[in-house]
Amino acid sequence: MPEKPKILIVDDNELNLKLCCAILQRNYQIFTATSAEEGLESAKRTLPDLILVDIQLPGMDGLTATRTIKSDDDLKTIPVIAVTSFAMVGDREKALSAGCDEYLPKPIDIQCLKAMVARFLGGRSAVRGGSQTEQRPARGKADLALS
């Protein structure tokens, strides 16, 4: 079986991490970090195929971490999705101008998250028996704790 695409999730809220892992771990190899600094170290070590980053993190924020990723020759081509409850007018534009490739507000719409991840990873997921792993649709929104 081919290796699952790697996703790094950077969020300081344990419930948010657990939810994203539960949604994505079936089809993707998941790495987590609870701070931007830890996320940057993990990104350099694992070279993920996609990074999901919360904007509001303790210490270095997610936008600064994204700028750092996008200025690193080894990491700059990795797509970054800002996932945040910090949803004020103009925040999407701030995230995109910091180098994020997409913006996903909380509470997370499970279908939207799955579709966005699949779009950035070209639909790649673990393959079984020559066909793509089945993905069951989820219903409704998952309310994440605000971070």
- What are the extents of the domains in the chain? 6-142
Cβ neighbourhood burial of 45 (10 Å; 0-12, 13-18, 19+): exposed
Average pLDDT per block of 10 residues along the chain, 147 residues long: 91 93 96 98 98 95 97 98 80 92 91 95 55 34 40
Are 147 and 56 in contact by the 8 Å Cβ rule? The answer is yes
Q: How many CB atoms lie within 10 A of CB 48?
A: 23
**pTM value?**
0.83
pLDDT, residue 142, reads 42
pLDDT, residue 90, reads 80
Select from 87, 65, 60 the least CA-distant residue to 52.
65
Sign of the torsion angle spanned by Cα atoms 124, 126, 144, 67: negative
For the chain, the distance separating the N- and C-terminal CA atoms, rounded to the nearest angstrom, is 37
pLDDT, residue 92, reads 86
Q: What would the CATH number be for the domain defined by 6-142?
A: 3.40.50.2300
pLDDT, residue 13, reads 92
pLDDT, residue 30, reads 98
pLDDT, residue 123, reads 66
